[in-house]
Amino acid sequence: MRLEDLTLVFDVDGTLIGGESADWNSFNEAIERVAGFYPQPEFYESLIEVNARAIVQKALAEHSESERSAKEDEIAAQYASNLAAVGQEHPEAFMASPGVIELLADLGSRQITHAIATGDFYDSIITKLRLAQVPYEGIPLVTSSDYGIRAEIIKAAIGKANGELPKSLYIGDGTWDLRATQALGIPFIGFGRNREKLKLNGALYLLDSFHPEHFWEVIESVVENEF
């Protein structure tokens, strides 16, 4: 299969951009402010689905359905506000991963179909992409503001890019990303500081950086072996 026939879908947090520590703090503080508790590791370990909407719904499980909807919106707004405040005080908190800006330009020049699928809320992911100065405009984007299951987010992003699921692959940094691609039956490329953990969980392809020369070597290996 030609590279031009592929649809490449990217995660954002821990993949296109860094800043996970500041990100999680901003999110947890938003939950604490609205739901009244600061999520601890055991709370996250209890989750089956890991994305912003699923996490918030779990945090609000004891509230009525009507309350959950309003409070989810409150948490999402507070989260985006927290991120903006962090970015203003620490402009370096959210940075594009090495090679990302160059790669996105290369994808455009090659006319390779690509999209963004993230488990974050829309407003907060846009805040972080802007802070990281990642040129996301014009790239099809689907978030957990649209769907509450990561596999559905990825599938919808492929559709939004007018791609085909059997000709698509996903680049992400979490075991939840890997599980979503396994559910969809598409190849996965692991990136970020948890690459060895991803490998232990079945990831066959790992990416060290987004510098185009290295990126395309990995993509060509996936195409050769998977399509």
Kindly state the average pLDDT of the residues 55-71.
92
Q: What is the pLDDT of residue 179?
A: 96
Based on the domain organization, do 40 and 104 belong to the same domain?
no
Domain that holds residue 47: 20-89
Kindly state the average pLDDT of the residues 176-203.
96
Based on the domain organization, do 106 and 162 belong to the same domain?
yes
- Closest Cα to residue 2, out of 191, 220, 194? 220
Q: What is the pLDDT of residue 186?
A: 98
Cβ proximity of 119 and 180 under 8 Å: no
Based on the domain organization, do 8 and 57 belong to the same domain?
no
Q: What is the pLDDT of residue 130?
A: 97
Based on the domain organization, do 73 and 110 belong to the same domain?
no
Three-state DSSP at 14 gives: coil
Please tell me what DSSP assigns to residue 96: B
Residue 122 confidence class, pLDDT cut points 50, 70, 90: very high
Based on the domain organization, do 141 and 214 belong to the same domain?
yes
- Closest Cα to residue 154, out of 129, 123, 119, 113? 119
Based on the domain organization, do 117 and 144 belong to the same domain?
yes
Based on the domain organization, do 43 and 141 belong to the same domain?
no
Task: Report the length, in residues, of the chain.
Answer: 227
Report percent pLDDT > 90 for the chain.
94
Residue-averaged pLDDT of the chain: 96
Q: Write out the H or E segment, with its range, that includes residue 143.
A: none
The total number of structural domains that make up the chain: 2
Cβ proximity of 96 and 133 under 8 Å: yes
Instruction: Tell if the pTM clears 0.85, that is, is over it.
Output: yes
Cβ proximity of 131 and 83 under 8 Å: yes
Based on the domain organization, do 13 and 70 belong to the same domain?
no
Q: What is the pLDDT of residue 2?
A: 87
Based on the domain organization, do 183 and 220 belong to the same domain?
yes
**CATH number reported for the structural domain that contains residue 165 in this entry:** 3.40.50.1000
Q: What is the pLDDT of residue 3?
A: 87
Based on the domain organization, do 112 and 220 belong to the same domain?
yes
End-to-end CA distance of the chain: 6
**Helix crossing, 65-89 with 122-131: angle to 10°?**
10
pLDDT at 66 over 90: no
Residue 211, Cβ neighbours under 10 Å: how many?
A: 16
pLDDT per position as a tens digit, 91-118: 999 999 999 999 999 999 999 999 999 9
Sign of CA dihedral 120, 121, 122, 128: negative
Q: Which of 89, 108, 140 is the last residue of a domain?
A: 89
pLDDT per position as a tens digit, 143-168: 999 999 999 999 999 999 999 999 99
From the DSSP assignment, how many helices (H) and strands (E) are in the chain? 10, 6
Q: What is the CA radius of gyration of the chain?
A: 17
Q: Which of 62, 89, 116 is the last residue of a domain?
A: 89
- By CB atoms closer than 10 A (0-12, 13-18, 19+), residue 220 is exposed
pLDDT per position as a tens digit, 78-94: 999 999 999 999 999 99
Based on the domain organization, do 7 and 34 belong to the same domain?
no
pLDDT at 65 over 90: no
Based on the domain organization, do 111 and 193 belong to the same domain?
yes
Q: Which of 89, 121, 140 is the last residue of a domain?
A: 89
